[in-house]
Amino acid sequence: MGTTERLLKRVEFKQEALRLIYTDKPLRPRPQFDVYPTDRATIASALSLLPADFAPRRALDPGAGDGGPWGTAIKERWPACRVDGCDIRALDRPPAFAGWASPCDYRQFAAMARGADLAEMGCAWDLIATNGPYGDLSEVWVRESLSLLAPSGVLILLLPLRFLESVRRRDGLWAEHPPASVHVLGRRPSFVPTGACGPTAYAIYLWTQGVRGPTSLHWL
């Protein structure tokens, strides 16, 4: 087969691949809010990054979801810790949580918390940990969370590895608030009951309030 024939075959293949399929079958409606519950193994790996002597008095699980898996794991690890949480959906308060706001957007929750004067009420959080939203909201959650952390508090977010990309973040968020460390997950997390994993690479991003310096890169 000559060069011309190979090119024609390649064009025909691409045209076939791009051919639209029409159907009268109704599409399954997409829920208003995407839900990605984090598996226990990933949460355990994230919390294992904290120092052995780290003992939070108050912890926050924003976007906690059904059962609040992050907050529940925190309470199991530090039974004396008060765990608070919120979720944008109308959900029952998870048993491990002392404080609960639902339905409540995290930005709304953070604004209310700051308006209550965190320093006077002693309700800044020593640990904020969760599976954050993706896209443009990821940076919003980083900034909101850092504004709620107590001195020397720790923020842990599970986010796609590609969150490290972007010129805008390089010159903005990463210049202003570089994470103390980024831990690439060798085993991709599962967000479905079957345990299946998607093609997206993830990492644990860790910030320590008041600590600025070169970000260290690790693998979990």
Task: Assign domain 34-219 to its CATH superfamily.
Answer: Vaccinia Virus protein VP39 (3.40.50.150)
Amino acid 90: pLDDT: 95
What is the rounded CA–CA span in Å between residue 62 and residue 129?
8
Q: What is the pTM of this model?
A: 0.82
pLDDT in tens, the chain (220 residues): 666 666 555 655 555 554 556 566 665 554 444 556 788 999 999 999 999 999 999 999 998 999 999 999 999 999 999 999 999 999 999 999 999 999 999 999 998 888 765 555 456 899 999 998 887 899 999 999 999 999 999 999 999 999 999 999 999 999 999 999 999 999 888 777 777 777 889 999 999 998 888 999 999 9
CB-count burial class (<10 Å; 0-12, 13-18, 19+) for 5: exposed
Strands (DSSP E) along the chain, which ranges?
58-62, 82-86, 99-101, 125-131, 149-160, 181-184, 202-208, 216-219
**188 Cβ contact partners less than 8 Å away, ≥ 6 residues apart:** 197, 198, 200, 201, 202
Amino acid 218: pLDDT: 97
Q: Which helix (H) or strand (E) holds 171?
A: helix 167-171
Query: If you search the block for the tokens 């990605």, which residue do you land on?
Result: 36
CA 167 to chain centre: 21
